[in-house]
Amino acid sequence: MKNLCKPSSTDDTFWISLNDYFDNFAGVNCVKIEEWNEARFPGKFIRVKSATDASNDIVLSNYYYEVTFASDSNSVVSIYQENQLTNGADLFRQPIEMNYIILQRDEDGDLALYDYIDYSKVESQWKDVYFNAGTYIIVPSTLGCYL
C-alpha cells in the first residue's frame, strides 16, 4: 500500500482517496504523547453483608487510589474490567456496571466531589480530566448487579 501511494521521501505522508481509504483501513488512531507516564493498579469489587441489615448485600471497591499532582496536569483516568483476553478470566463473564468518582482533598483534609464518570456496562471507560495541583482520591464503584 505504501509503495502505491508514493509517500514523500521526507516524512512518509501520502494522499489517498476516501474510497481507497475505506477499502484498505478500518480506522485511524491519532496519538499525541508528551511527557507521558502510565500507572496501572489492580482493583476488586467485593460483596459484603450490611452491618445493620443482614438481608442486605453491599458491593464495595476493595481499593481506592490517592494521587497527588505537584502542578496542574491533564490526565486520562480509566477503569477496565477483565475480558476474554485477560489471562485466567471467565470467558462467559458479562461486564458489570462500573463508574468512578474523583474527590479533591483540600488543605484541611476535607473531601469534595471533583469529577466522575457515569455508570456504564462496558469493559472499559475513560475520561480526560484536568487536575489542579493537589491531592485527589479516585473511588471505583459498581451497582453490583452481576457479582
What residue spans define the domains of the chain?
37-142
Residue 56 and residue 119 in contact, taking contact as beta carbons nearer than 8 Å: no
Q: In DSSP terms, which residues pair with 117 in a beta bridge? A: 100
Q: What is residue 124's three-state secondary structure?
A: strand
pLDDT at 87 over 90: no
For cell 471533583, the residue is: 114
Q: In DSSP terms, which residues pair with 124 in a beta bridge? A: 80
Q: What is the pLDDT of residue 52?
A: 83
Enter the pTM of the model: 0.63
Percent of the chain having pLDDT more than 90?
19
Q: What is the pLDDT of residue 112?
A: 95
Half-sphere exposure of 24 (CA within 13 A, CB side): 10
Note the CATH number of domain 37-142.
Answer: 2.60.40
AA identity, residue 38: E
Going by their DSSP bridges, the two strands 124-131 and 134-142 should be labelled as: unpaired
Q: What mean pLDDT, rounded, does the chain reach?
A: 78
Q: What is residue 139's three-state secondary structure?
A: strand
Q: What is the pLDDT of residue 33?
A: 61
Q: Name the most confidently modeled range: 28-37, 50-59, 61-70, 88-97.
A: 61-70
Distance CA(123)–CA(80), nearest Å, equals: 6
Residue 23 has which C-alpha cell?
477499502
